[in-house]
Amino acid sequence: MGELAFIMSHKVNGVSALHSDLVKQNLFPELHRLHPGRIVNQTNGVTPRRWLRMANKPLAGLITDTIGAGWEADLDRLRELEPHVEDAGFRAAFAVAKRVNKVELSNWAGAELGVKISPDALFDVQIKRIHEYKRQLLNILETIAHWNKIRANPKGPWVPRVRIFGGKAAPGYAVAKEIICLINDVAGVVNSDPVTGDLLKIIYPPNYNVSMAERVIPASDLSEQISTAGKEASGTGNMKFMMNGAPTIGTLDGANVEILAEVGAENFFLFGLTAAEVTRRREDPDHSKKAIEASQPLQDVLQMIAEGRFNPEEPERYHGLVHRVWHHDYFLVAADFAAYHAAQGEVDVAYADPSRWWRMAALNTARSGFFSSDRTIRSYMDEIWQATSAL
């Protein structure tokens, strides 16, 4: 179907710089040689009217008060916020806007889910369709490792966290549904643990959709974009979080590459194998076994799941899942675990330093102008449609 679509098309868009190269080199190398110039890159964008002005009125108000009106239709103007990030008063106002949204989300979670979450915790969010390549499994395994660390030293200087998941699985995708089930089983045990209390909560509100995204993204502190490198064509959720002042923890995949280039490495928690390294690592049939044997925290987590620690009523529930991580780990969950665990530690260090954190958060917003869909559409007009603007 892809080849038919290619030969019938005027242009083929790779939707991010990295994926456009992969489409040329790995997906359609022969058709690319036959039709050089047909594959183009128009990096995706999101509309700042919906994802910033409508969804996040506290932050939109602060931006207008700081740089004046009109930025919604000229998003590069957000760069005018940059000098203000050195101003402690501006950073405090940015933090207040975020907190207003977090209080609203906390109240909603209390009413809708019956789980109490503290707006003082770091809201760590992964909302997107459930897929093995997006690696919600990596996130929940690391959450368990973090829980173990807190339990071993409950009086330690922990940054309180809420791990927020959202997303639907396709109807026939049994492995994805198993991951949803695991996250909910882990949440049930962790949320009722008196030892960890408000230091760690997990919520998974049902029926993730755009309305929920508009509620959750403005209240997010950390954006989880942790796909196996080479698998996420672009992502657009990553752009919505950046606009709303949530730094990314993520891999070099899709538009994360361009987000990293815009925001700077000091404002992005990068980890994991690159797309080229992923391809090479898969050539070793024992890659996951080796990675698990090299990481005691990961071994402990897999052992707990295998023993039914989160589902004593049916302890064998995840035997298949654990077996696949050990022996058929196509998406490199085990290989990236240790790097992800370390990067999460870096997030805690940064969050514990408010002047550093709010500088990072505000710079994410200030440098997100490139990800306006207005830029994407103007570029389509110039390079694909040869259309001129009526405005």
Ligand X SMILES: *Cc1c(COP(=O)(O)O)cnc(C)c1O
* Binding positions for ligand X, rule: CB under 6 A: 128-129, 209-210, 213, 235-237, 240
318: three-class secondary structure by DSSP: coil
If we measure between CA atoms, which residue out of 368, 357, 358, 375 comes closest to residue 78? 368
Closest approach of ligand X to the CB of residue 216, in Å: 10
Closest approach of ligand X to the CB of residue 244, in Å: 12
Closest approach of ligand X to the CB of residue 79, in Å: 24
DSSP per position, 115-157: ----TTSEEEEEES---GGGTHHHHHHHHHHHHHHHHHSTTS-
282: three-class secondary structure by DSSP: coil
Nearer to ligand X, 220 or 288 (CB): 220
For 165, phi then psi, to 5°, come to -115, 150
Nearer to ligand X, 227 or 288 (CB): 227
Please state the length of the chain.
Answer: 391
Nearer to ligand X, 47 or 191 (CB): 47
Nearer to ligand X, 240 or 341 (CB): 240
- Eight-class DSSP state of 158: P
What stretch of H or E contains 12? strand 12-13
Nearer to ligand X, 206 or 320 (CB): 206
Closest approach of ligand X to the CB of residue 215, in Å: 11
If we measure between CA atoms, which residue out of 74, 365, 127, 93 comes closest to residue 243? 365
* Edge-to-edge order in the sheet of strand 200-203: 200-203, 161-166, 122-127, 222-225, 248-250, 269-270
Closest approach of ligand X to the CB of residue 53, in Å: 16
Nearer to ligand X, 54 or 387 (CB): 54
Closest approach of ligand X to the CB of residue 239, in Å: 8
Nearer to ligand X, 55 or 304 (CB): 55
Residues 32-64 as b or e (16 or more Cβ within 10 Å = b): beeeeebbbbbbbbbbbeebbbebbebbbebbe
Q: Which two tokens stand for residue 10?
A: 């005027």
Closest approach of ligand X to the CB of residue 343, in Å: 18
Closest approach of ligand X to the CB of residue 174, in Å: 20
Nearer to ligand X, 32 or 129 (CB): 129
203 forms beta bridges with 164
